[in-house]
Chains A and B, each alone.
Chain A
Amino acid sequence: AQSVAQPEDQVNVAEGNPLTVKCTYSVSGNPYLFWYVQYPNRGLQFLLKYITGDNLVKGSYGFEAEFNKSQTSFHLKKPSALVSDSALYFCAVSARKDSNYQLIWGAGTKLIIKP
């Protein structure tokens, strides 16, 4: 079965330190990978995506993500965390299903940045 895993329910990082939020996937065919962020009582906001090409993709708010095909991972990273980065982060993959496609979501990771 096609799936997305975010192995950490919560990640705690001190402000100014680098952060990583992990995501692994299992899909057939070439994956199209996405990261979304959700602030309290808000809808999800698109951060970045990997379609093809350079394995390191850059997105909004200084975030970037590294696609690793051999490890089937797409970890979200930021060199220097801000308190305002505290939010829920979701990884998703777009994958073929029958003659169509579907979005498969991870369970989410709560990122807490401490001052």
Chain B
Amino acid sequence: DTGVSQDPRHKITKRGQNVTFRCDPISEHNRLYWYRQTLGQGPEFLTYFQNEAQLEKSRLLSDRFSAERPKGSFSTLEIQRTEQGDSAMYLCASSLGTLETEAFFGQGTRLTVV
């Protein structure tokens, strides 16, 4: 296992289009996070899963955003009707799901909405 992988690394889309990102966590990790990060800022929490259950979703996440983790393995993050304000780096992380374990991050997907 080479760590958390995200696909694609870069995505340019026109405003109004839908986009979907994929995250493959470290195989034995049961917790999976999605974050959004803009330039020079810290990670902004979007949502997380414990196995296949989505346990928390940020209030900042509009109805245009949806995430799934079928079978508790890989996860997808979909953004519908993209807006220019959605342009950011989308980070996925996974962990063993206990209070004291660190999260491992993927390289991120950079979204540019034009």
Contact = CB atoms under 8 A, between A and B. Distances in A.
Contact of A44 (B40, B45, B91): B91
A90 B43 contact: yes
Interface string B44-60: 01000010000110000
B108 interface: yes
B42 A105 contact: yes
B102 A101 contact: no
Interface centre among A32, A36, A43, A108 (most CB of B within 10 A): A43
Interface of B: 4, 33, 40-43, 45, 50, 55-56, 91, 93, 99-100, 102-108, 110
A43 B91 contact: yes
Contacts of A22: none
B91 A34 contact: no
Given A43-B91, A43-B108, A45-B105, A101 B99 contact: yes
Q: Is the interface of A mostly helix, strand, loop or mixed?
A: strand
B105 A94 contact: no
Contacts of B102: 34, 46, 49
B103 A103 contact: yes
A115 B55 CA distance: 46
Interface residues of A, number: 24
Contacts of B45: 102-103, 105
A54 B98 CA distance: 21
A87 B104 CA distance: 18
Interface string A43-65: 11110010100000000000000
Contacts of A107: 41-42
B104 A105 contact: no
Contacts of B42: 90, 105-108
Given A43-B91, A100-B55, A101-B99, A108 B41 contact: yes
Contacts of A45: 105
A4 B3 CA distance: 27
10 contacts: A32-B99, A42-B107, A43-B91, A43-B105, A43-B106, A46-B102, A96-B99, A100-B50, A101-B99, A105-B45
